[in-house]
Amino acid sequence: MRIDVITLFPGMFAGPLSESIIGRAIGRGILSVHVVNLRDFCEGKHRQADDKPYGGGPGMVLMAEPIFKAVESLSSQSSLKRIILTSAQGSLFNQEKARELAAEQDMVIICGRYEGVDERVAARLSTDEISIGDYVLTGGELPALVLIDAVCRLIPGVVGCAESLEQDSFNEGLLGYPQYTRPPELRGMNVPEVLISGNHAQIAQWRRQSAIRKTFRNRRELLGKVSLTEEEAEFVRTLERVEG
């Protein structure tokens, strides 16, 4: 997969793209990430990328023309089926969207900044407008890195153990179950006996119920989208009676 990132702050990507799973994927040629400096497509002595909003108001807005030019400069290098604009006004990013994007051969990420981006970019250029959460950041660079990380690990061959992807949170709609490692006793806290029992059927049941319990406590709205057995549904009703 090839990912092109258009940003005013290319230096923000050097460290994250060179470390851990992303760095290894790039090193092995499974993933290529090209960071494009938006100022290279701005005009004037000061390479101005933003301007005051029409209608008045505080802050500055990224101009559309430099972004159009930056994307057009990439047209000979990729098919540009997916052009993503990071924006607080976008649809909420989730695991389903990550899987969808991981199936693409290439994509472009436009990093928003300041008070926003000229709406003509969203209306005529981008195919997706994505937010990573209901909060405001100083720019779209961190969301772009979140997208790259989430998508990258779903590309075949990037994560060494494919089985670990199947156990990820949200893979079946549930949050992940609790994990433990050595030692079995730590500061008065013990690993659940079932996990060291060697009984794989009981371990599987404990993990499933623990995932349901954690989802119930932290993201209860997700349970409405999960296919539960009658026994699991009764377990949820018990949680509702006991924990409210």
Q: Which residues are annotated as a binding site?
A: 112, 132-137
| Listed residue (83, 73, 156, 78) closest to 117, CA to CA | 83
Q: How many Cα atoms within 13 Å fall on the side-chain side of residue 133? A: 8
Phi, psi of 151 (to 5 degrees): -75, -45
How far is Cα of residue 142 from the mean position of the Cα atoms in its chain? 10
Binding site members for S-adenosyl-L-methionine: 112, 132-137
Residue 187 contacts by C-beta under 8 Å, 6 or more apart in sequence?
A: none
Identify each DSSP E strand in the chain by its residue range: 2-7, 32-37, 50-51, 61-62, 83-92, 106-111, 128-131, 185-186, 189-190
Cis peptide preceding 66, ω within 30 of 0: no
